[in-house]
Amino acid sequence: EAQVTQNPRYLITVTGKKLTVTCSQNMNHEYMSWYRQDPGLGLRQIYYSMNVEVTDKGDVPEGYKVSRKEKRNFPLILESPSPNQTSLYFCASSLKFQQGASEQYFGPGTRLTVT
């Protein structure tokens, strides 16, 4: 089954304790992206990757890191989480440049709480 998986689905942590949220897709997609969803703000892009070893900042990259060492994986790293990073996080993937803008496939989400 074609899918994007994220782990963990729920995470409660404390300020300053490094964490990683994993994302994996099995569709051989070149493009992957991380979003955060906050009430009233919709989805905002954190980082994206056009292919292996190619990453770039989205609209809200502060406090986050990513890496793309393999095509299927795109982990999101919070080196020193803060309470304002409490949010619902989505990973997404898509084929690269299909008629200009491609349908994105989303993971189930990771709800992160930083206390």
| Cβ neighbours around 20 below 10 Å, total | 14
Q: Please answer whether residues 9 and 23 qualify as being in contact, where contact means their C-beta atoms are separated by less than 8 angstroms.
A: no
Which C-beta is closer to other proteins: that of 17 or that of 57?
Answer: 57
Given a contact cutoff of 8 angstroms between Cβ atoms, the answer to whether 83 and 15 are in contact is yes
Interaction residues for other proteins, span 19-48 (CB under 8 A): 31, 33, 35, 40-45, 48
* Residue corresponding to tokens 């980082």: 47
- CB nearer to other proteins: pick between 75 and 107: 107
CB of 17 vs other proteins, minimal distance in Å: 25
Window 65-104: residues binding other proteins (CB under 8 A): 90, 92, 94, 96-97, 99-104
